């Protein structure tokens, strides 16, 4: 029987799901897709070894999901993962030209690892299997598989934004990269906005024939379909987490430690795209305007460190430490501290409990492909007494969650104003907003996302 072969840089085996809060959305989504379709998940083990990808494949099966992983050499990790993927493509795709590094060597490393992945995964692909490649680390992989004679249907999903053409053309060899994408059969984006940017590029820079109604892109006699598939959360799995003792304990722990103060929470990988220093500025502005409310409100920022070998990540961490330190120094009393800043990840069950205890969820990325924390925050609320989601209008999720309190994350005044509104919002308004959002989060879940993509890929 034909199977699904999923390929992504990061492979998170089910037994490691406890760390979900630190993983970003991709890993959880793929676990769920693979539990449904028997298949194989291929990618990097996360380990470094001398032989790297040539050292052989490690295969394991947990909870119905088979993973096949390869190690990478130190040089591959430096050039492909820390270099081209996370110091070139990630900042560029998040509109941060100021942080984007353009190094020829890392570009070569990126191509080398894509080639090594293609070589390692090719023997796992059998006739009629569907192949589904994920994210910016592996854009050229489909073309590398084609050059090895793979004629199967191959899809690609980009979990992050696609930048406007004017930014994207600053990438040396941009045309070569996008031309490799035309070797896929189906390309998925999180939102219509990123899809539009991609189609614009194909028309203006490649001279491709684009049909916006169907998303078909034709160049040199080959046609690929590009569409938007907004990713969702695994609703049932997440609700099951909320039913655990671990979750209830986490909720109680937060409630008893905040007592009469309203808890406001943010959970983000420590990444400059998440707008953390800007968020802290907004919170600082709120306390400047309402110093007495330091007794009403406590902000909890959970920020597990991420990509620590990349310089821009080290800088953002230092900046955030300074900013939280400044506000706490200026606004704390002996018995109250306004910001709790925590550099670690929590399990999904614990996060559920924290989200439920927190009456305000603050999700204010400067740019984000989707952002599943926003959806998880909504999913964890008590329907009778739901909290308020404050959401950046620049997160992909804002296109679905229009009933959140939408903010411009660059504006401290806007964020401060939204916090005030959330604190004072009536129960009726909170319920009305929650009812609409929760329907979307429930209905447009990760199972539907998988089915939609896989159905279209099957053709």
What are phi and psi for residue 365, nearest 5 degrees?
-65, 150
Which residues within the stretch 121-180 sit at the binding site for ligand G6P (CB under 6 A)? 135, 159-160
Smallest separation, CB 297 to ligand G6P (Å): 29
Closest by CA to 159, choosing from 184, 132, 182, is 132
Should residue 306 be labelled a site residue for ligand G6P when binding is judged by CB under 6 A? yes
Catalytic residue among 159, 234, 268, 348: 159
Q: Cβ of residue 159: shortest distance to ligand G6P, in angstroms?
A: 4
Q: Which run of H or of E encompasses 430? A: helix 427-443
Residues within window 266-285 making contact with ligand G6P, judged by CB under 6 A: none
CB-based contacts of 428: which residues, under 8 Å, 6+ apart?
Answer: none
Q: Which residue has the tokens 């609703």?
A: 235
Q: Does residue 131 contact residue 183 with C-beta atoms inside 8 Å?
A: no
Residue 204 main-chain phi, psi, to 5 deg: -75, -40
Residue 26 binds ligand G6P, judged by CB under 6 A: yes
Which residues, 6+ apart, have CB-to-CB distance to 165 below 8 Å? Answer: 197, 200, 201, 204, 205
Size of the site for ligand G6P (CB under 6 A): 10
Examine residue 28 and tell whether it contacts ligand G6P (CB under 6 A).
no
Question: What is the rounded CA–CA span in Å between residue 376 and residue 381?
Answer: 9
We find the least distance from the C-beta atom of residue 24 to ligand G6P, in angstroms, to be 3
Q: Measured from the CB of residue 268, what is the shortest distance to ligand G6P in angstroms?
A: 11
Contact range with ligand G6P by CB under 6 A, out of 18-26, 56-64, 186-194, 358-366 = 18-26
Alpha carbons 300 and 324: distance in angstroms, whole number: 11
Residue 50 Cβ vs ligand G6P, minimum distance, rounded to whole Å: 22
CB neighbour list of residue 442: distance below 8 Å, 6 or more residues apart: 235, 379
- Which residue, 131 or 254, has its beta carbon nearer to ligand G6P? 131
Nearer to ligand G6P, 270 or 441 (CB): 270
From 24-32, 144-152, 201-209, 276-284, give the range in contact with ligand G6P by CB under 6 A. 24-32
Q: In the complex, what is the shortest distance from the CB of residue 77 to ligand G6P, in angstroms, rounded to a whole number? A: 11
What tokens were used for 109? 């490393």
Residue 25 lies near ligand G6P (rule: CB under 6 A) = yes
User: Residue 391 and residue 393: Cα distance in Å, rounded?
Assistant: 6
Cα–Cα nearest to 80, from 11, 144, 137:
137
CB atoms within 10 A of CB 37: 16
Is 3 or 159 the residue whose CB approaches ligand G6P more closely? Answer: 159
Q: Which of 144, 279, 307, 430 binds ligand G6P (CB under 6 A)?
A: 307
Q: Which of 269/356 has CB closer to ligand G6P?
A: 269
Counting contacts by CB under 6 A, is residue 76 touching ligand G6P? no
Distance CA 393, CA 364 (A): 8
159 annotated active-site: yes
Q: How far is the CB of 19 from ligand G6P (least distance, A)?
A: 10
* Strand pairing category for 4-10 and 154-157: unpaired
Q: Which lies closer to ligand G6P via its Cβ, residue 160 or residue 395?
A: 160
Query: How far, in Å, CA of 389 to CA of 428, rounded?
Result: 15
86 or 381: whose CB is closer to ligand G6P? 86
Nearer to ligand G6P, 247 or 306 (CB): 306
The string over 377-398, giving b where at least 16 C-beta atoms fall within 10 Å of a residue's C-beta and e elsewhere, is bbbbbeeeebbbbbbbebbbbb
Report if residue 10 touches ligand G6P, rule: CB under 6 A: yes
Single out the catalytic residue among 76, 271, 368, 403: 368
387 is an interface residue for ligand G6P by CB under 6 A: no
The DSSP bridge pattern shows strands 130-134 and 405-407 to be: unpaired
Q: Which position's Cβ is nearest ligand G6P?
A: 24
Q: Among 21, 24, 338, 386, which residue interacts with ligand G6P (rule: CB under 6 A)?
A: 24
- The phi-psi region of residue 236 (left if phi > 0; otherwise alpha if psi is between -120 and 50; otherwise beta) is alpha
Distance CA 38, CA 248 (A): 33
Determine if 109 is a binding residue for ligand G6P (CB under 6 A).
Answer: no
Tell me, yes or no, if 368 is annotated catalytic.
yes
Q: What are the residue numbers of the active site? A: 159, 368
Binding positions for ligand G6P, rule: CB under 6 A: 10, 23-26, 135, 159-160, 306-307
């Amino acid at each position: 029987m034909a199977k699904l072969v999923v390929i992504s840089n990061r492979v998170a085996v089910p037994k490691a799901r406890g760390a979900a809060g630190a993983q970003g959305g991709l890993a959880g989504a793929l676990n769920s897709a693979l539990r449904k379709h028997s298949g194989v998940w291929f990618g990097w083990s996360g380990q470094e070894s001398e032989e790297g990808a040539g050292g052989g494949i490690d295969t394991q099966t947990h909870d119905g999901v088979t993973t096949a992983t390869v190690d990478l050499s130190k040089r591959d990790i430096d050039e492909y993962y820390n270099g081209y993927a996370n110091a070139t493509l990630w900042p560029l795709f998040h509109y941060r030209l100021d942080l984007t590094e353009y190094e020829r060597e890392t570009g070569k490393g990126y191509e080398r690892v894509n080639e090594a992945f293609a070589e390692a995964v090719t023997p796992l692909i059998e006739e009629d299997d569907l192949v589904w490649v994920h994210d910016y680390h592996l854009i050229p992989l489909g073309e590398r598989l084609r050059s090895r004679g793979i004629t199967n249907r191959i899809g690609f999903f980009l979990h992050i934004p696609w930048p406007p053409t004017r930014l994207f053309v600053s990438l040396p060899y941009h045309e070569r990269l996008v031309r490799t994408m035309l070797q896929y059969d189906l390309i998925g984006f999180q939102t219509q906005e990123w899809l539009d940017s991609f189609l614009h590029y194909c028309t203006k820079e490649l001279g491709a024939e684009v049909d916006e109604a169907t998303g078909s892109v034709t160049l040199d006699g080959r046609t690929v379909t590009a569409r938007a598939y907004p990713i969702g959360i695994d609703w049932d799995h997440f609700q099951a987490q909320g039913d655990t003792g671990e979750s209830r304990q986490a909720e109680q722990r937060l409630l008893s430690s905040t007592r009469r103060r309203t808890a406001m929470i943010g959970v983000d990988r420590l990444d400059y795209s998440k707008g953390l220093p800007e968020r802290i500025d907004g919170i600082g502005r709120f306390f400047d305007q309402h110093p007495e409310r330091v007794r009403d409100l406590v902000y909890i920022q959970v920020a597990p460190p991420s990509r620590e070998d990349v310089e821009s990540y080290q800088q953002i961490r230092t900046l955030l430490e300074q900013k939280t330190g400044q506000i706490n120094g200026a606004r704390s009393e002996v018995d109250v501290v306004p910001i709790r800043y925590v550099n670690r990840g929590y399990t999904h069950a614990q996060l559920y409990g924290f989200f439920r205890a927190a009456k305000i969820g603050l999700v204010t990325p400067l740019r984000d492909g989707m952002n599943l924390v926003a959806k998880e925050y909504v999913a964890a609320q008590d329907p009778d007494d739901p909290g308020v989601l404050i959401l950046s209008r620049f997160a992909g999720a804002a296109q679905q969650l229009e009933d959140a309190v939408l903010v411009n994350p660059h504006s401290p005044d806007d964020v401060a104003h939204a916090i005030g509104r959330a604190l004072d919002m009536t129960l009726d308004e909170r319920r009305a907003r929650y009812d609409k959002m929760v329907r979307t989060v429930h209905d447009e879940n990760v199972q539907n996302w998988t089915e939609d993509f896989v159905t279209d890929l099957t053709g």
